[in-house]
Amino acid sequence: MKKITLILLLFSVIHFSLTLLNPFGPTIFPVAPIIGEKVKGDVDISVEFWKNLDDVIAKVATSYAKFVVLPITTAANLYAKGVDIKLIGVHEWKVFYLVANTEYTDLTSLKGQTVYSAHGRGQTVDVLLRYLLTKEGLKPDVDVKFAYAPPQEIVALFKSGKIHFAALPEPFVTMCLGNGKIVLDFQNVWNNISGSKFGIPIAGLFVIGNISNYKNTINEVENIFKSSVEYANSHIDESLAITSKYFPIPVPVLKKSLERTEFKYIKNCKEEVDLFLRTMHKLYEEGIPKVPDEGFYLK
């Protein structure tokens, strides 16, 4: 009886108070309806932002929260290191572009150049660009140098002409366009290589640790998350107004950037994710040292 009571109490705590770790930045937009209480459910979700990979990796490794939005590549590498993390669904499929303010013909134009990207090594666009360079016969870090900085800093350097190439997510791409142009759509390149029908499985919703035993709670959180993404897409101005309270980018810039961004929650996309990770692993093993097995996907 004591054991049953303990389980029920634990379930009650989880049921009524849950923290969702979400990236700080443009990915606030799809969870803005949760933050603004436009979308609700039986589970009370508190959204907490993470600002860098080191921060969120530490929190995931210690089970600080039970639900987290992560880049697929980051989550796959955490799983390979023994972290009990499972993919529930993918919601971000289009956001990355290469911008240039100098001559660019194709990827070989990057030889001898430095490409800046946000946050640090190992995030999605970093792994993807390294893979594409390898496919073209170029050696990352040898033929093409990489540098990392906060996205706002990269935009400032790009606009001043101090750097010439940047692989960025929206809305930072939009912020660069007055001083350069988009020369590569990473989503189109990936679709041509892979035959993907959705795009790049960039980020998704994950569950951490023992909560994977509580199907009803997971289903409720997933439903709220999915509804939030759908609400944001159908109530753009309202969701942008909420987003702008936390993310200090002008609303017109955010709205323009949505033309090159796609948030769409898809649950059953194991084949897409597995194809992406296996392709990355095959031609750029350093970025994805090990492809996750079936245990990476919530059943």
Find all residues with CB under 8 Å of 123, minimum gap 6, and list them: 53, 71, 73, 74, 117
Q: What 3-state class would DSSP assign to 20?
A: strand
pLDDT at 212 (0 to 100): 62
The pLDDT > 70 percentage for the chain reads 94
Is 8 among the domain residues? no
108 and 140 assigned to the same domain: yes
Structure tokens at 113: 């150049």
Is 154 among the domain residues? yes
| Contact (CB, 8 A) for 113 and 145 | yes
Q: What confidence category does residue 194 fall into, taking pLDDT thresholds of 50, 70 and 90? A: confident
219 and 259 assigned to the same domain: yes
Residues 87-144: tens digit of each pLDDT: 999 999 999 999 999 999 999 999 999 999 987 787 788 888 998 999 899 999 999 9
Q: What 3-state class would DSSP assign to 23?
A: strand
101 and 138 assigned to the same domain: yes
The answer to whether residue 274 scores a pLDDT higher than 90 is: yes
pLDDT at 4 (0 to 100): 47
Average pLDDT over residues 237-261: 96
Q: pTM of the prediction?
A: 0.86
Residue by residue, DSSP assigns 124-135 as HHHHHHHHHHHH
Radius of gyration from C-alpha coordinates of the chain: 19
The answer to whether residue 233 scores a pLDDT higher than 90 is: yes
The answer to whether residue 53 scores a pLDDT higher than 90 is: no
251 and 172 assigned to the same domain: no
The pLDDT > 90 percentage for the chain reads 73
pLDDT at 5 (0 to 100): 44
Task: Please tell me the distance from the alpha carbon of residue 60 to that of residue 62, in angstroms, as a whole number.
Answer: 5
Structure tokens at 130: 């390294």
139 and 51 assigned to the same domain: no
The answer to whether residue 294 scores a pLDDT higher than 70 is: yes
Find all residues with CB under 8 Å of 140, minimum gap 6, and list them: 129, 130, 133, 134, 146, 284
Considering only residues 56 and 153, tell me which one the structure prediction assigns the higher pLDDT: 153
The answer to whether residue 211 scores a pLDDT higher than 80 is: no
Structure tokens at 294: 């079936």
105 and 224 assigned to the same domain: no
